[in-house]
Amino acid sequence: MTVAELIEGLNLTVFTPQARLDKRIATVDINRPGLALAGYLRYHPAERIQLLGRTELSFLRGMDNREQALRVFALCSYEQTPCIIVSRGQTPPESLLREANTRGLPVLGANLVTTRAAAVLSTFLEERLAPETLIHGVLVDVYGIGILITGSSGIGKSETALELVKRGHRLVADDAVVIRQVADHTLVGSPPPLLEHLLEIRGLGVLDAMTLFGAGAVRTHKKLALVIHLDVWRDDVAYDRLGIDEQTVRILDTELPSVTIPVRPGRNLAVIIEVAAMNHRLKGMGYHAARVFSDQLSEAIQGQEDYD
């Protein structure tokens, strides 16, 4: 993202209007350059946004003019530095503004206290710079569980989502799902802007789920918790009957639990997905029905062998 997008997204003040607002921001990390202002630049992370709080500005203003000019020159000398942000609504020193203008380095202002500004910046950057991918499928919120439904084209993903929405659940995205890794082991899905709230049903065309079912039937984004893959029923395939073995699918750098549901006429996929969501929640609470059944079966077999 660019510095201009950062300014617009966080409503920041621009102190150097002639600076290059097209400079790129490539990392979510933020640096408070206290050591750089003290003269130690060996490991200075120049590629990060530089955040100056009350402590750094007080330290800078306490220097004489010559030393202040040298420190500011060193801080602004890195081409890869995207911008400098001053917190607490403070006004940057004139020496900093002059040097930054000379080098085209944007100096911005935030009205938040320094720790809060750092938190808001980190959250904003993590969301905007998060790795993302586009997956063909449907994302729905079922009982608070974000379920990504995948499968070949025409297998019934959108029809299943429509039935789930009619049953009181919420649609996030149909046909194309933008998935971002916003943190370690955390994936969030959302629709592309042009497809927001829309469902495509063969024979009916494009439907607006929010217009048909109300604002409570849609969501703008949802954390992914489970992947359900719809597969055409094949008689020569031995499908899992107990559910003891845990399947996973890898999206970006995160492994998600996965369930494969064979599809054939007469199966109520919406009900099956509802039960899958409730079963996933029970597993998260520590109860695994298939393992409990397996343990009870093993105990019964062992008891019968002991009796014999």
- Residue among 24, 54, 61, 136 flagged as catalytic: 136
- Reported as half-sphere exposure (CB side, CA atoms, 13 A), residue 164 has a value of 35
Residue 157 a catalytic site member = yes
Could you tell me if 177 and 134 are in contact, meaning their C-beta atoms sit under 8 angstroms apart?
A: yes
Residue 241 a catalytic site member = yes
- Residue among 42, 66, 185, 241 flagged as catalytic: 241
- Bridge-based pairing of strands 198-201 and 138-142 is unpaired
* Cα(155)–Cα(220) distance, integer angstroms: 25
Residue 6 CA from chain centroid, whole number: 18
The residues near 243 (Cβ < 8 Å, ≥ 6 apart) are 289, 290
* Cα(39)–Cα(68) distance, integer angstroms: 11
- Residue among 23, 175, 219, 229 flagged as catalytic: 175
- Residue among 71, 157, 170, 229 flagged as catalytic: 157
Tokens of 231: 């597969």
Residues 138, 252, 231, CA angle at the centre, nearest 5°? 40
* Cα(222)–Cα(209) distance, integer angstroms: 17
- Side by side, the strands of the sheet bearing 30-31 are 13-14, 107-109, 84-86, 49-52, 30-31
Residue 267 a catalytic site member = no
Residue 175 a catalytic site member = yes
Torsion sign across C-alpha atoms 66, 70, 75, 78: positive
Query: Could you list the active site residues?
Result: 136, 157, 175, 241
